Chains A and B, each alone.
Chain A
Amino acid sequence: MAKQEIDKDNLQPLAEINRVIHEPARLLLVATLSVVESADFLFLMNQTKLTRGNLSSHLSKLQAAGYVEIKKEFVGKIPRTLLRLTEEGRKAFVEYRQKMQRVLDSF
């Protein structure tokens, strides 16, 4: 039983977990964007297997939080939505991982 006791002092980071990133679909998006310089909408859709509407909505939330930069451009006559993680987004992701690690270590 003693082994299963949770170190409550170390659970404080749990309350500080970044909820914008913590949502599974957004976490996958941020993790994918963290390993590339930039990607377009179609590539992210293929990688995450999210639907167009879902992906749009999660990207909008990440953009509103300042974690993702969305740029629309034309390649020839074809429109392209280019996405990249901002510096703020990268920092938030690193912090999120550190906090989650601490929380999981305490269990």
Chain B
Amino acid sequence: MAQETDLRNIEQKTFRDSQQDGLMELVMGICMLAISTRLFSRLLIFMLALPVFLFGPLLALMRRRFTHPRIGYVKLIPDKPKSVITGILFVTLVVIAVMAVVFFFFGDVRDINLWMRWCPFWGGTVLAGMFSSLASKSGAIRYYIFAGWSLLSGIVLSVLDFEVVETGTLLYFAVMGGLLVPFGLLQFVMFLRKHPKPGQEVLDGQTGN
């Protein structure tokens, strides 16, 4: 049991160290701000899809440029895609079921505007689940803060009444981006100060073989 705990500690530390650059938060926040300002498209599907597709390559590019030369490269054991999709679908179904029950008793379940209005709650719950999973993998408290912020802002922006129904969703992305960008930026600056670029002989990593 003690051995399991120690390995779990090593796993969490490795995960934390690989994410210490703050770039994930920074890039995710930038993507969310881009969605909220409708930078890419006014059409909802493109507005959401483009930043999502840009997130991975942009993060990889920045890590190659800034992180790997400083602390090295690590490829973590990836989550099984099947379990990720199952998790998202499960949360989505639970949220839709809860919303359907609430709308049935306190509104009109066929009102599409009501469903649109509560989109921030759905997004907030899915993201809260994702951040909770990151918190459990890393043992870092900041992910619990992000999860709480995501859920809370999702609920608040769904409860508030806006003239244009999608304003709540756009504001949700702005609020999330508004938290993630400054946090990521601060973490990134601290990372650069803490880890100056090492000399070429260390980068080479000769193993003497």
Q: Which residues of A contact B (CB under 8 A)?
A: 31-32, 34-47, 52-53, 55-57, 59-60, 63, 70, 75, 78-82, 97, 100-101
Given contacts A56-B206, A56-B207, A56-B208, contact A40 B10 (CB under 8 A): no
Task: State which of A37, A45, A47, A60 has its C-beta within 8 Å of the C-beta of B208.
Answer: A60
Cβ-defined contact, B205 with A46, below 8 A: no
4 additional contacts (CB under 8 A) given A40-B72, A63-B209: A41-B72, A45-B202, A55-B207, A56-B208
Q: Does B141 contact A (CB under 8 A)?
A: no
Given contacts A47-B14, A75-B68, contact A38 B209 (CB under 8 A): no
For residue B203, give the distance in angstroms from its CB to the closest CB of chain A: 6
Cβ-defined contact, B76 with A37, below 8 A: yes
Task: State which of B10, B64, B74, B198 has its C-beta within 8 Å of the C-beta of A39.
Answer: B74
A80 neighbours in B (Cβ, 8 Å): 73, 203, 205
A–B Cβ pairs within 8 angstroms, 16 of them: A31-B6, A35-B11, A35-B14, A41-B72, A41-B206, A42-B202, A44-B72, A45-B72, A46-B17, A46-B71, A52-B206, A57-B208, A63-B209, A75-B73, A81-B206, A82-B73
Cβ-defined contact, B7 with A31, below 8 A: yes
Q: Which residues of B contact A (CB under 8 A)?
A: 3, 6-7, 10-11, 13-14, 17, 64, 68-69, 71-78, 198, 201-209
Cβ-defined contact, B207 with A40, below 8 A: no
Cβ-defined contact, B72 with A35, below 8 A: no
Cβ-defined contact, A37 with B78, below 8 A: yes
Question: How far does the alpha carbon of A81 sit from the alpha carbon of B206 in the complex, in Å?
Answer: 7
Question: How far does the alpha carbon of A37 sit from the alpha carbon of B75 in the complex, in Å?
Answer: 5
B78 neighbours in A (Cβ, 8 Å): 37
B3 neighbours in A (Cβ, 8 Å): 97, 100-101
Cβ-defined contact, A40 with B73, below 8 A: yes
Question: How far does the alpha carbon of A63 sit from the alpha carbon of B48 in the complex, in Å?
Answer: 46
Closest to B3 in A: A97
Question: How far does the alpha carbon of A15 sit from the alpha carbon of B182 in the complex, in Å?
Answer: 56
A70 neighbours in B (Cβ, 8 Å): 207, 209
Task: State which of B69, B71, B76, B201 has its C-beta within 8 Å of the C-beta of A36.
Answer: B76
Closest to A98 in B: B3
Closest to B77 in A: A37
Given contacts A52-B202, A97-B3, contact A41 B207 (CB under 8 A): yes
